[in-house]
């Protein structure tokens, strides 16, 4: 991997307020288009970003009630991968405590929610989650075409 | 900022079609649920959700769609979807919704199965 610095970096600070995830989604759309992704892949990035924001809004218990989102465009000869980092300053969580949702259980359960991480992992090429007492950071990336460009 | 959801309902012989336009979030999902339960009260047991005007949906909205699917199973009805964007269809498959609700490429294909 020879990448040193991103070709483009954009940072957003969004309040945890209704529909603010759509602001993140619009920025994601613009940057994914800049990378040259197809319309379908742009939509996948948008949905993943929406889910990451909603997870932060709903589960972080952040006192300052905002999320920091950093978009980085990577590539050697031109833009070929978008990385998105969504950080909240909340209480963190243990990944081991997150139940993998299954439709068979959800359909007869009182709790139908809890799909965010599964959707993000299904739509993005790579997803890393760092969580601790200083909050949670979801780092996800998607290449311009199918499959990751990362080594 | 809100891309509010607009619903249009068409009642046909024994089947109702709900057309959506806009973002399906928690409020949007609840609007669809209200419309679906009202149609159930009217006696419709086959519902088709045509998402032709929706490019983005979130997991809270989809969770409400799962509640509707559960309700339809209880009354031995059928809920089906058509005109999904490839991303929404992929998301439904990631979640396994296709096990409980049919997904059709377009309304013609859906009607052929649901009214046949």
Strand partners of residue B11: B16
Written as one string, the DSSP assignment of A49-79 is HHHHHHHHHHH---SS-EEEEEEEEE-SSS-
A136 torsion bin: left (phi>0), alpha (psi -120 to 50), beta (else): beta
Of A2-6, A95-99, B1-5, B64-68, least confident by mean pLDDT is B1-5
In a domain, A1, yes or no: no
Beta strands in chain A (DSSP E): 8-15, 66-74, 81-88, 126-132, 135-143
Give me the sign of the Cα torsion angle A121, A123, A125, A131. Answer: negative
In a domain, A148, yes or no: no
Mean pLDDT, chain A, whole residue set: 92
In a domain, A12, yes or no: yes
Q: Give the domain CATH number at A62.
A: 3.30.565.10
Nearest CA to CA, how far is B18 from chain A (Å)? 22
Instruction: Say how far apart CA B61 and CA B64 lie, in whole Å.
Output: 5
**A135, A66 Cβ separation under 8 angstroms:** no
Instruction: Say how far apart CA B85 and CA A9 lie, in whole Å.
Output: 29
Of A20, A102, A115, the CB nearest to B59: A115
Mean pLDDT, chain B, whole residue set: 94
Query: Helix, strand, or coil here: A146?
Result: coil
- The per-residue pLDDT for B2 is 56
Closest residue in B to A104 (Cα) is: B96
Query: Helix, strand, or coil here: A90?
Result: coil
This complex has an ipTM of 0.92
Q: Is the pLDDT of residue B56 over 80?
A: yes
User: In which band, very low, low, confident or very high, does the pLDDT at B115 lie, cut at 50, 70 and 90?
Assistant: confident
In degrees to the nearest 10, what's the CA dihedral of A65, A71, A116, A136? -50
Give the C-alpha distances (Å, rounded to integers) separating A71 from A7, A81, A133, B75, B108. 11, 10, 24, 46, 41
In a domain, A49, yes or no: yes
CB contact under 8 A, A119 and B95: yes
* Average pLDDT estimate for A105-114: 86
Angle separating helix axes A39-59 and A116-123, nearest 10 degrees = 150
* Average pLDDT estimate for A37-42: 97
Angle separating helix axes A39-59 and A20-35, nearest 10 degrees = 150
Q: Is the pLDDT of residue B107 over 80?
A: yes
Q: Which of A80, A73, A70, A58 is closest to A139 using CA atoms?
A: A70
Nearest CA to CA, how far is B17 from chain A (Å)? 23
**Residue A5 DSSP label:** S
Q: Which positions in chain A touch B85 (Cβ < 8 Å)?
A: 40, 43
Beta strands in chain B (DSSP E): 6-12, 15-21, 46-53, 78-82, 102-104
User: In which band, very low, low, confident or very high, does the pLDDT at B49 lie, cut at 50, 70 and 90?
Assistant: very high
Range(s) of the domain holding residue A136 = 8-143
Instruction: Say how far apart CA B74 and CA A90 lie, in whole Å.
Output: 39
Domains, chain B, with CATH or none: 8-106 (3.30.750.24)
In a domain, A149, yes or no: no
> In this predicted model, what pLDDT tens digit does every residue of A51-86 receive, in sequence order?
999 999 999 999 999 999 999 999 999 999 999 999
* CB-facing half-sphere around the CA of B91: CA atoms within 13 A: 31
* Average pLDDT estimate for B51-68: 95
- The per-residue pLDDT for B87 is 97
Q: What angle do CA B99, B10, B30 make, to 5 degrees?
A: 60
In a domain, A2, yes or no: no
Q: How many domains, chain A?
A: 1
């Amino acid at each position: 991997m020879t990448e040193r610095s991103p070709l483009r970096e954009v940072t957003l600070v969004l309040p945890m307020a209704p529909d603010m995830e759509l602001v993140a989604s619009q920025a994601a759309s613009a940057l994914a288009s800049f990378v040259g992704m197809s319309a379908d892949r742009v939509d996948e990035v948008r949905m993943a970003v929406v889910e990451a924001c909603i997870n932060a809004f709903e589960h972080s218990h952040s006192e300052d009630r905002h999320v920091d989102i950093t978009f980085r465009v990577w590539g050697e000869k031109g833009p070929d991968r978008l990385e998105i980092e969504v950080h909240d300053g909340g209480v963190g969580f243990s990944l081991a405590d997150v139940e993998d949702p299954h439709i068979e259980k959800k359909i007869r359960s009182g709790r139908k929610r809890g799909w965010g991480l599964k959707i993000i992992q299904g739509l993005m090429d790579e997803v890393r989650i760092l969580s601790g007492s200083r909050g949670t950071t979801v780092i996800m990336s998607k290449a311009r075409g199918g499959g990751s460009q990362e080594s | 900022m809100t891309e509010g959801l607009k619903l249009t309902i068409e009642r046909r012989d024994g089947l109702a079609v709900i057309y959506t336009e806009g973002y399906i979030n928690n409020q949007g999902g609840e609007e669809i649920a209200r419309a679906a339960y009202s149609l159930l009260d009217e006696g419709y047991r086959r519902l088709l959700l045509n998402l032709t005007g929706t490019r983005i949906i979130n997991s809270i909205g989809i969770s409400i769609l799962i509640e509707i699917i559960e309700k339809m199973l209880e009354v031995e009805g059928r809920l089906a979807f058509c005109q999904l964007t490839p991303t929404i269809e992929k998301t439904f498959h990631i979640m396994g919704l296709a096990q409980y609700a049919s997904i059709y490429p377009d309304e013609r294909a859906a009607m052929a199965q649901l009214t046949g």
